[in-house]
Amino acid sequence: MSETTMLRIEDAIQNLPAGSLRNNALSFVEFLNNEGLTPVKCPWTENKWKIPFGEYYIGWISLSPKSWSYENFNYLQFDEYVDDDHKFATTIHKYVKVCKNPCHDECWGAMDVMVFDKQFNNVCSNHGLAISNPSMKTIEHIKKLISYNKKIVPRKHIYHCHNL
């Protein structure tokens, strides 16, 4: 099967280099599948799979020949949540993306937001957080972030352009 006809992310992940990079990606996708969040191939690109949650998408996984990444969709509007797990909050804070300028036509600009009890100014509206080649410990933090996303996405009025 060629790369252009692959629909299952598990098949595409097999093209990553053997070892922890591939194993971590497969482990993360297994978690998503078990949670009913099976990644859906993006029709406009060869290397992205959106992560559905009901009628919304909470993020996507991007693959390249030697890496993979998770991107969170939304402004990271976790202002009402404080998490006592300092390592979790610190990890999430480390990957918050500050907006530099509009990056594409659907760009909605940026917002000032509180992310787990820390203020961030000018957070990217479309891709508020991106993590490349996460370790298994970081994947555990991403899983927890996804549990927060499940709480906020259905009731927030600002969504990533790919949610629509």
For the chain, the structural domain boundaries read 3-163
Query: What's residue 62's pLDDT?
Result: 95
Which strand (E) or helix (H) includes residue 25?
helix 20-34
- 56: tokens are 């919304």
d(CA 114, CA 23): 33
- For every residue of 53-106, DSSP letters joined together read ETTEEEEEEEEETTEEEEEE-S---BTT---S-HHHHHHHHHHBPBP-S--STT
- In this prediction, residue 108 carries a pLDDT of 62
Q: What pLDDT shows up at residue 44?
A: 86
Q: What is the pTM of this model?
A: 0.84
Per-residue pLDDT of the chain (164 residues; tens, 9 = 90+): 444 455 799 999 999 999 999 999 999 999 999 999 999 999 888 899 999 998 888 899 999 999 999 998 765 667 677 778 889 999 999 998 877 665 555 566 677 788 888 888 877 766 678 899 999 999 999 999 999 888 877 655 554 444 44
